[in-house]
Chains A and B, each alone.
Chain A
Amino acid sequence: MAAATAMRFGQLSSGSDMAPDWTTKEVSTGTTIMAVEYDGGVVIGADSRTTTGAYIANRVTDKLTPIHDRIFCCRSGSAADTQAIADVVTYQLGFHSIELDEAPLVQTAANLFKASCYRYREELMAGIIVAGWDKRRGGQVYTVPVGGMLVRQPVSVGGSGSTYIYGYMDSNYKPNMTKDQCLRLVSGALSLAMERDGSSGGVVRLAAISETGVDRQVILGNQLPKWSTTGYIPYCLSKGLEIYPTV
């Protein structure tokens, strides 16, 4: 994501090596985002790092944006573009819901995202995952990547960090998981991506959306799942240090 940003907006840097990245690069939600369907709802998750080049502009970003009571979107790509699109869709969906006099469908929200992302595809850099619950089809995940395609998937990952976890998802996702299994799958996948992708990091933000409501949680750095080949544990082992128990 960061490299792609550099390519598009490289002209703005005016070739000066003395000016730091963050004076010239666009603010990007480098990101790892994902969403998983389960019977009765969806679980969505994201990291919390926003970068301008190599500078972390916000290390506690909330990339899980509510669009309606039971519909959220996960934002990746340009922070400004995704915020603007989310605002537009929130307005459109709110109006539509009032006119219909009933809760909007996730599919409707996804189509509205697609409409904006496709029409302005040349000017935008936005990869969005729309997920939520409605009473017609229960939990649903729709992905709207760069370019403005729309497709429904049981699981979807996005952002620059997603490339590192395709294998993890392919091998660990099974259909008909429970909510708790989904939560563990998402937090595990995100922590792996955050470990490897420079543009992803910070805390893991999770949300579980179902008929009863939205249940949000944050997993802080020291509470993240730990993996045997990365980071904390190998370091302790190599130095002969005590490995503190993890939650």
Chain B
Amino acid sequence: HVGSKLDDGVGYDLSASTFSPDGRVFQVEYAMKAVENSSTAIGIRCKDGVVFGVEKLILSKLYEQGSNKRIFNVDRHVGMAVAGLLADARSLSEVAREEASNFRSNYGHNIPLKYLSERVAMYVHAYTLYSAVRPFGCSFILGSYDQDDGPQLYMVDPSGISFGYWGCAIGKAKQAAKTEIEKLQMKDMTCRELVKEVAKIIYIVHDEVKDKAFELELSWVGEVTNGKHELVPKDIRVEAEKYAKVCTTTTSLLHGISVTWVQNNSTFKVFFPHFMVTN
């Protein structure tokens, strides 16, 4: 890595307690690389709730459906979707749960999401200060719905920073997913409409060639669930996946046909492209 080693062989990237000459903390950047190697997770906030979608890659033929969850419940009204090292993410979800629970115990009401994300971000940040520990190798998206604050969406990354969003994506296809998210008018959509769009985006950004099979994990929290964060019910998920498959197949068919036409191929082989032409 350019800049991480001086000519005399002393590296600036060996511990989080060292800055490089150009002001970077390499360990934190390497942690973000770990997130970029993981499959995509997205979260979108709409008029009356928040929807999460995670592309869960299936690495084994013996995989049990519904296992290896990437979406966690932090409190009744708060959900968390993760990308990166799953073990780190699980540990942080426990931290988030304790924060939310202690808040309720001390102050008598639901934890506001802004406060929760800042507390967990502070915790993540602490692990970027010392050489004795390594930073967390995961980013996560927190979403909640509450009578008074409405829907809220926050994202925390390994550097320990937290921002609020209307829509965000983490993981390997986050750029492509962000492009798709930006096309949506989420402020005017309801959760039911948004679920289908989230499924569609995950299907769009999924790389059929490199990653083969995947399971879509969908969850939501909003007026539609009465403020409770839960996995999207099976029938709605199936409908959303059907919609997503139709959209992506149509698009890829169009692209495939245009390719065969231009290349003057007589075969009807449809190419599944890596980069989707925007509709």
Contacts and interface: CB of A to CB of B under 8 A. Distances in A.
Contact of A96 (B107, B114, B148): B107
Contact of A100 (B106, B112, B148): B112
Nearest to A96: B107
Given A99-B115, A100-B112, A100-B115, A112 B106 contact: yes
A107 B112 contact: no
Contacts of B106: 111-112, 115
A108 interface: yes
A61 to B, nearest CB: 29
A86 interface: no
Interface string A36-74: 000000000000000000000000000000000000000
B148 to A, nearest CB: 5
Interface in A129-175: 136
Contacts of B115: 99-100
Given A100-B112, A100-B115, A112 B148 contact: no
B108 A108 contact: yes
A107 B108 contact: yes
A108 B109 CA distance: 7
Chain B interface size range:
under 10
A112 B114 CA distance: 21
A96 B119 CA distance: 13
Contacts of B114: 100-101
A117 interface: no
A103 B115 CA distance: 14
A110 B109 CA distance: 11
Nearest to A99: B115
Chain A interface size range:
10 to 19
Contact of B107 (A101, A108, A136): A108
Interface in A90-113: 96, 99-101, 105, 107-108, 110-112
Contacts of A111: 106-108
A100 B112 CA distance: 8
Nearest to B111: A100
A105 B112 contact: no
B276 to A, nearest CB: 41
Contacts of A96: 107
A110 B108 contact: yes
Nearest to A137: B148
A136 B112 contact: no
A186 B107 CA distance: 29
A104 to B, nearest CB: 8
Interface string B138-168: 0000000000100000000000000000000
Contacts of A115: 106
Contacts of B107: 96, 105, 108, 111-112
B102 to A, nearest CB: 12
A107 B107 CA distance: 8
B108 A136 contact: no
Contacts of A101: 114
B227 to A, nearest CB: 14
A110 B114 CA distance: 23
Interface in B75-119: 106-109, 112, 114-115
Interface of A: 96, 99-101, 105, 107-108, 110-112, 115, 136
Closest 6 pairs between A and B when the two form their complex, measured CB to CB: A111-B108, A108-B107, A136-B148, A107-B108, A100-B115, A111-B107
10 contacts: A100-B112, A105-B107, A105-B109, A108-B109, A110-B108, A111-B106, A111-B107, A111-B108, A112-B106, A136-B148
Given A100-B114, A101-B114, 19 more contacts: A96-B107, A99-B115, A100-B112, A100-B115, A105-B107, A105-B109, A107-B108, A107-B109, A108-B107, A108-B108, A108-B109, A110-B108, A111-B106, A111-B107, A111-B108, A112-B106, A112-B107, A115-B106, A136-B148
